[in-house]
Amino acid sequence: MSDSVVLGPAKIGDAPGIANMSRLLIEPGLPWRWTPRRVAAHMRERENLVVVARDDRTLVGFAMAQFNAESVHLTLIGVAADRKRGGIGRRLIAWVEESAVIAGVFRINLEVRAGNQEARSFYARLGYKETGRAPGYYSGVEDAIKVTRDLRVTSQA
Ligand SMILES: CC(C)(COP(=O)(O)OP(=O)(O)OC[C@H]1O[C@@H](n2cnc3c(N)ncnc32)[C@H](O)[C@@H]1OP(=O)(O)O)[C@@H](O)C(=O)NCCC(=O)NCCS
Protein backbone atom coordinates (compact mmCIF):
# COMPACT_ATOMS: atom_id res chain seq x y z
CA MET A 1 0.00 0.00 0.00
CA SER A 2 1.04 3.61 -0.42
CA ASP A 3 -0.45 4.98 2.83
CA SER A 4 2.91 6.13 4.19
CA VAL A 5 3.91 7.64 0.85
CA VAL A 6 3.85 11.42 0.56
CA LEU A 7 3.83 13.29 -2.75
CA GLY A 8 5.38 16.69 -3.30
CA PRO A 9 7.37 18.87 -5.68
CA ALA A 10 10.85 17.54 -6.45
CA LYS A 11 13.96 19.32 -5.21
CA ILE A 12 17.06 19.73 -7.34
CA GLY A 13 18.83 17.18 -5.12
CA ASP A 14 16.34 14.56 -6.35
CA ALA A 15 17.72 14.74 -9.91
CA PRO A 16 20.29 11.90 -9.56
CA GLY A 17 17.72 9.59 -7.94
CA ILE A 18 15.14 10.34 -10.62
CA ALA A 19 17.70 9.85 -13.40
CA ASN A 20 18.73 6.49 -11.95
CA MET A 21 15.13 5.35 -11.72
CA SER A 22 14.60 6.40 -15.33
CA ARG A 23 17.68 4.45 -16.46
CA LEU A 24 16.63 1.31 -14.61
CA LEU A 25 12.85 1.37 -15.05
CA ILE A 26 12.15 3.23 -18.27
CA GLU A 27 15.25 3.26 -20.45
CA PRO A 28 16.74 -0.26 -20.27
CA GLY A 29 18.12 -1.26 -23.68
CA LEU A 30 18.19 2.37 -24.84
CA PRO A 31 20.88 5.05 -24.60
CA TRP A 32 20.54 6.81 -21.21
CA ARG A 33 18.95 10.13 -22.17
CA TRP A 34 17.59 11.25 -18.79
CA THR A 35 20.89 11.76 -17.04
CA PRO A 36 21.07 13.68 -13.73
CA ARG A 37 22.14 16.79 -15.63
CA ARG A 38 19.21 16.61 -18.03
CA VAL A 39 16.69 15.92 -15.27
CA ALA A 40 18.04 18.92 -13.32
CA ALA A 41 17.81 21.13 -16.43
CA HIS A 42 14.22 19.96 -16.95
CA MET A 43 13.40 20.89 -13.34
CA ARG A 44 14.73 24.41 -13.78
CA GLU A 45 12.38 25.20 -16.68
CA ARG A 46 9.28 26.88 -15.35
CA GLU A 47 6.87 25.11 -17.71
CA ASN A 48 7.87 21.74 -16.31
CA LEU A 49 6.42 19.97 -13.28
CA VAL A 50 8.36 17.29 -11.41
CA VAL A 51 6.58 15.51 -8.58
CA VAL A 52 8.14 12.88 -6.36
CA ALA A 53 6.71 10.22 -4.06
CA ARG A 54 8.66 9.53 -0.88
CA ASP A 55 8.31 6.95 1.84
CA ASP A 56 10.09 8.55 4.77
CA ARG A 57 13.17 9.84 2.94
CA THR A 58 13.27 7.19 0.26
CA LEU A 59 12.34 8.15 -3.28
CA VAL A 60 9.76 5.60 -4.43
CA GLY A 61 8.34 7.29 -7.52
CA PHE A 62 8.33 10.35 -9.71
CA ALA A 63 6.53 12.00 -12.61
CA MET A 64 7.74 14.68 -14.96
CA ALA A 65 5.49 16.76 -17.20
CA GLN A 66 5.77 19.72 -19.55
CA PHE A 67 2.95 22.26 -19.60
CA ASN A 68 2.09 23.79 -22.97
CA ALA A 69 -0.76 26.12 -23.91
CA GLU A 70 -3.02 23.40 -25.29
CA SER A 71 -1.76 20.22 -23.66
CA VAL A 72 0.44 18.68 -21.01
CA HIS A 73 3.10 16.22 -22.10
CA LEU A 74 3.75 13.49 -19.52
CA THR A 75 7.47 13.05 -20.08
CA LEU A 76 8.29 10.27 -17.60
CA ILE A 77 6.64 8.38 -14.77
CA GLY A 78 8.18 5.63 -12.69
CA VAL A 79 7.59 3.73 -9.47
CA ALA A 80 10.31 1.74 -7.67
CA ALA A 81 10.18 -1.91 -8.72
CA ASP A 82 9.43 -3.13 -5.20
CA ARG A 83 6.58 -0.61 -4.77
CA LYS A 84 4.59 -1.24 -7.95
CA ARG A 85 0.86 -2.01 -7.82
CA GLY A 86 0.41 -0.08 -4.59
CA GLY A 87 -1.38 2.90 -6.10
CA ILE A 88 1.65 5.23 -6.26
CA GLY A 89 1.55 5.57 -10.05
CA ARG A 90 -2.14 6.39 -9.89
CA ARG A 91 -1.46 9.11 -7.29
CA LEU A 92 1.41 10.58 -9.30
CA ILE A 93 -0.64 10.84 -12.45
CA ALA A 94 -3.57 12.32 -10.51
CA TRP A 95 -1.21 15.07 -9.28
CA VAL A 96 -0.25 15.90 -12.88
CA GLU A 97 -3.89 15.79 -14.03
CA GLU A 98 -5.08 18.04 -11.19
CA SER A 99 -2.30 20.50 -11.95
CA ALA A 100 -3.34 20.51 -15.61
CA VAL A 101 -6.98 21.24 -14.75
CA ILE A 102 -5.91 24.09 -12.44
CA ALA A 103 -3.82 25.46 -15.33
CA GLY A 104 -6.89 25.24 -17.61
CA VAL A 105 -5.37 22.54 -19.82
CA PHE A 106 -7.48 19.45 -20.43
CA ARG A 107 -5.37 17.27 -22.71
CA ILE A 108 -2.57 14.97 -21.53
CA ASN A 109 -0.31 13.41 -24.17
CA LEU A 110 2.49 10.89 -23.78
CA GLU A 111 4.48 8.21 -25.57
CA VAL A 112 5.16 4.74 -24.25
CA ARG A 113 7.47 2.00 -25.51
CA ALA A 114 5.45 -0.40 -27.65
CA GLY A 115 6.78 -3.37 -25.67
CA ASN A 116 5.90 -1.87 -22.29
CA GLN A 117 2.67 -3.76 -21.68
CA GLU A 118 2.69 -2.90 -17.97
CA ALA A 119 2.55 0.84 -18.64
CA ARG A 120 0.08 0.43 -21.51
CA SER A 121 -2.28 -1.46 -19.16
CA PHE A 122 -1.77 1.21 -16.48
CA TYR A 123 -2.69 4.06 -18.83
CA ALA A 124 -5.66 2.17 -20.27
CA ARG A 125 -6.98 1.55 -16.74
CA LEU A 126 -6.76 5.27 -16.01
CA GLY A 127 -8.81 6.26 -19.05
CA TYR A 128 -6.01 6.95 -21.53
CA LYS A 129 -6.51 6.05 -25.21
CA GLU A 130 -3.91 4.82 -27.68
CA THR A 131 -4.04 6.96 -30.83
CA GLY A 132 -1.12 5.89 -33.01
CA ARG A 133 2.35 4.49 -33.40
CA ALA A 134 5.64 6.29 -34.09
CA PRO A 135 8.06 3.81 -35.72
CA GLY A 136 11.60 3.85 -34.30
CA TYR A 137 10.79 6.73 -31.93
CA TYR A 138 13.15 5.40 -29.25
CA SER A 139 16.61 5.81 -30.81
CA GLY A 140 15.54 3.63 -33.74
CA VAL A 141 15.37 0.67 -31.33
CA GLU A 142 11.67 0.54 -30.54
CA ASP A 143 8.38 2.07 -31.66
CA ALA A 144 6.37 4.42 -29.48
CA ILE A 145 2.66 4.17 -28.88
CA LYS A 146 1.04 7.60 -28.69
CA VAL A 147 -1.42 7.92 -25.83
CA THR A 148 -3.79 10.69 -24.81
CA ARG A 149 -6.46 11.56 -22.30
CA ASP A 150 -9.10 14.28 -22.49
CA LEU A 151 -9.57 15.31 -18.86
CA ARG A 152 -13.09 16.56 -19.60
CA VAL A 153 -14.13 12.94 -20.14
CA THR A 154 -14.72 11.18 -16.83
CA SER A 155 -12.53 8.11 -16.35
CA GLN A 156 -14.05 4.82 -15.24
CA ALA A 157 -10.94 4.18 -13.07
C1 LIG B 1 3.55 2.07 -15.04
C2 LIG B 1 3.82 2.33 -13.53
C3 LIG B 1 4.24 3.79 -13.35
C4 LIG B 1 2.51 2.06 -12.75
O5 LIG B 1 2.75 2.42 -11.40
P6 LIG B 1 2.07 1.60 -10.18
O7 LIG B 1 2.27 2.38 -8.94
O8 LIG B 1 2.55 0.21 -10.21
O9 LIG B 1 0.54 1.64 -10.65
P10 LIG B 1 -0.76 1.60 -9.69
O11 LIG B 1 -0.53 0.66 -8.57
O12 LIG B 1 -1.16 2.99 -9.36
O13 LIG B 1 -1.80 0.95 -10.71
C14 LIG B 1 -3.04 1.54 -11.09
C15 LIG B 1 -3.78 0.56 -11.96
O16 LIG B 1 -3.08 0.41 -13.23
C17 LIG B 1 -3.19 -0.97 -13.66
N18 LIG B 1 -1.87 -1.59 -13.70
C19 LIG B 1 -0.72 -1.15 -13.13
N20 LIG B 1 0.31 -1.98 -13.40
C21 LIG B 1 -0.21 -2.98 -14.15
C22 LIG B 1 0.34 -4.16 -14.72
N23 LIG B 1 1.63 -4.48 -14.56
N24 LIG B 1 -0.48 -4.98 -15.43
C25 LIG B 1 -1.80 -4.69 -15.58
N26 LIG B 1 -2.39 -3.57 -15.04
C27 LIG B 1 -1.59 -2.73 -14.36
C28 LIG B 1 -4.05 -1.69 -12.62
O29 LIG B 1 -5.40 -1.64 -13.04
C30 LIG B 1 -3.84 -0.86 -11.39
O31 LIG B 1 -4.88 -0.93 -10.48
P32 LIG B 1 -5.00 -2.23 -9.50
O33 LIG B 1 -3.63 -2.53 -8.97
O34 LIG B 1 -5.98 -1.73 -8.47
O35 LIG B 1 -5.52 -3.33 -10.36
C36 LIG B 1 4.90 1.34 -12.99
O37 LIG B 1 4.57 0.04 -13.36
C38 LIG B 1 6.31 1.63 -13.46
O39 LIG B 1 7.02 2.46 -12.89
N40 LIG B 1 6.75 0.95 -14.54
C41 LIG B 1 8.13 1.12 -15.03
C42 LIG B 1 8.35 2.49 -15.62
C43 LIG B 1 7.40 2.75 -16.78
O44 LIG B 1 7.12 1.89 -17.57
N45 LIG B 1 6.92 4.00 -16.87
C46 LIG B 1 5.97 4.41 -17.90
C47 LIG B 1 6.62 4.87 -19.14
S48 LIG B 1 7.34 6.51 -18.94
Number of domains in the chain: 1
What is the spatial distance between Cα 13 and Cα 24, in angstroms, rounded to a whole number?
Answer: 19
- The predicted pLDDT at position 154 comes to 75
Is 156 inside any structural domain? no
E-strand spans in the chain?
A: 5-9, 48-55, 58-67, 72-79, 107-113, 129-138, 142-150
Number of Cβ within 10 Å of residue 15's Cβ equals 22
Which one of 122, 123, 130, 142 would you pick to mutate in the ligand 1 pocket, going by the greatest count of ligand atoms within 8 A of its CB?
A: 122
> What spacing in Å lies between the alpha carbon of 106 and ligand 1's midpoint?
22
Query: Taking all residues of the chain, what is their mean pLDDT, rounded to a whole number?
Result: 96
Is 155 inside any structural domain? no
What pTM was estimated for this model as a whole? 0.96
Which one of 5, 51, 93, 118 would you pick to mutate in the ligand 1 pocket, going by the greatest count of ligand atoms within 8 A of its CB?
A: 118
CATH number of the domain to which 41 belongs: 3.40.630.30
- The predicted pLDDT at position 153 comes to 85
Query: pLDDT tens across 10-38, in order?
Result: 999 999 999 999 999 999 999 999 999 99
